[in-house]
Chains A and B, each alone.
Chain A
Amino acid sequence: MTERRANASYVREVDQAVVERLAALHAPHPRAVEMGVDIVSDPHREDDDGYNWTRLRYARNVSDVVPGSVVIMGSRIGTYLAKVVAWDFEVSDEDPIVTLDLLPVTPEAVERALARSRTSAA
């Protein structure tokens, strides 16, 4: 396991100018829009560090999937909660690999917890 994988808080930030450049080029991915998720990704995938990965073109909105964001990722096999760890430009300057840390909780469980919290606060 690499050092970055051992650190659960690891995030490789991206310059805001890069985010804006890629956002200007981006069209929301139809499947992400149809599924109501932030980005489409196969939850089985693992890179050399054990992170999940997809490509930025599969995002609904670029600004929602910048490193550090918590996102809903989805595919034909359901929706999952993940944290965006990095954008990797090794294969493309316009369509980086988006590295994700799949979180071991379901979006629905988080929704229920937040709903309880709101009820308690009311």
Chain B
Amino acid sequence: MLPGAPPDDLVLLIRAAPSTIEETVLDIAETALDSADTYAVNRPDGTRVALYGVSVLARRPETDPAELLRRLAASTHYLEASVGDIRSAGFDITATGSNPDHFEVLLVGNQPEGEPLLSFDEVEESARRLVAVARDLRSNPSYAGEQKESS
């Protein structure tokens, strides 16, 4: 487990999403590849791995999803999954930054820093597994509408 990882039963992790599973998989794969091209993370054994990270927000039991998603009002949908389910599917989770409710799910956790980036197809496969953990896209209760379609 990486430093700062949340306990299995503490939180649900959520991420705003486009309106289809396919778009959601592409969105997650793109952001993870870009992250790996920029940052690395320390593992407990002292090695550093590329941060194929997907940013997510913790939803504490007392927090309404609408409140968390208010800043992401341009997104029509969101994904939600428990820390335990994400970890059971083989993904590491690490805390990032000053926000105690901001985490990165590592789509790939064993690619040494400095190695060539993985192909989009390889990262997309991991993104698809992560989206499968969440099962369904949920409608964003804070969706503001009036957005242009992006593809």
- Contact across chains for A49 and B98 when beta carbons are under 8 A apart: yes
Please, what's the 1-or-0 string for A60-80, where 1 marks a CB less than 8 Å from any CB in chain B?
000000000000001111111
Of A2, A36, A46, A97, the contact of B102 (CB 8 Å cutoff): A46
Of B15, B75, B96, B151, the contact of A78 (CB 8 Å cutoff): B75
Instruction: Kindly identify, within residues 96 to 151 of chain B, every residue whose CB is under 8 Å from any CB belonging to chain A.
Output: 96-99, 102, 144, 146-148, 150-151
Distance A42 CA – B31 CA, assembled complex (angstroms): 7
Which residue in chain B gives the minimum CB-CB distance to A48?
Answer: B97
Whether A116 sits at the interface, judged by CB under 8 Å, is: no
Total cross-chain contacts (CB, 8 A): 95
Distance A53 CA – B34 CA, assembled complex (angstroms): 11
Distance A108 CA – B55 CA, assembled complex (angstroms): 25
Please, what's the 1-or-0 string for A32-45, where 1 marks a CB less than 8 Å from any CB in chain B?
00111000001111
Q: Which of B1-9, B42-50, B66-74, B80-88 contacts A (4 or more CB under 8 A)?
A: B66-74
- Chain B contacts of A74 at CB under 8 A? 150
- Chain A contacts of B18 at CB under 8 A? 76-77
Most A-side CB within 10 Å, residue of B30, B31, B54, B72:
B31
Distance A47 CA – B53 CA, assembled complex (angstroms): 12
State whether A97 and B55 are in contact (beta carbons under 8 Å apart), knowing that A2-B98, A50-B99 are contacts in the complex. no
- Chain A contacts of B57 at CB under 8 A? 44
Whether A17 sits at the interface, judged by CB under 8 Å, is: no
Whether A8 sits at the interface, judged by CB under 8 Å, is: no
State whether A75 and B55 are in contact (beta carbons under 8 Å apart), knowing that A55-B34, A80-B74 are contacts in the complex. no
Distance A2 CA – B54 CA, assembled complex (angstroms): 24
Binding site for A on B (CB under 8 A): 15-18, 23-24, 26-27, 30-31, 34-35, 37-38, 54-57, 70-76, 96-99, 102, 144, 146-148, 150-151
Which 6 pairs between the two chains have the least Cβ-Cβ distance?
A: A78-B74, A44-B55, A76-B27, A77-B75, A42-B31, A46-B97
- Apart from A1-B98, A50-B99, A78-B150, 6 more pairs, CB < 8 Å: A35-B148, A42-B31, A55-B34, A97-B38, A106-B73, A109-B144
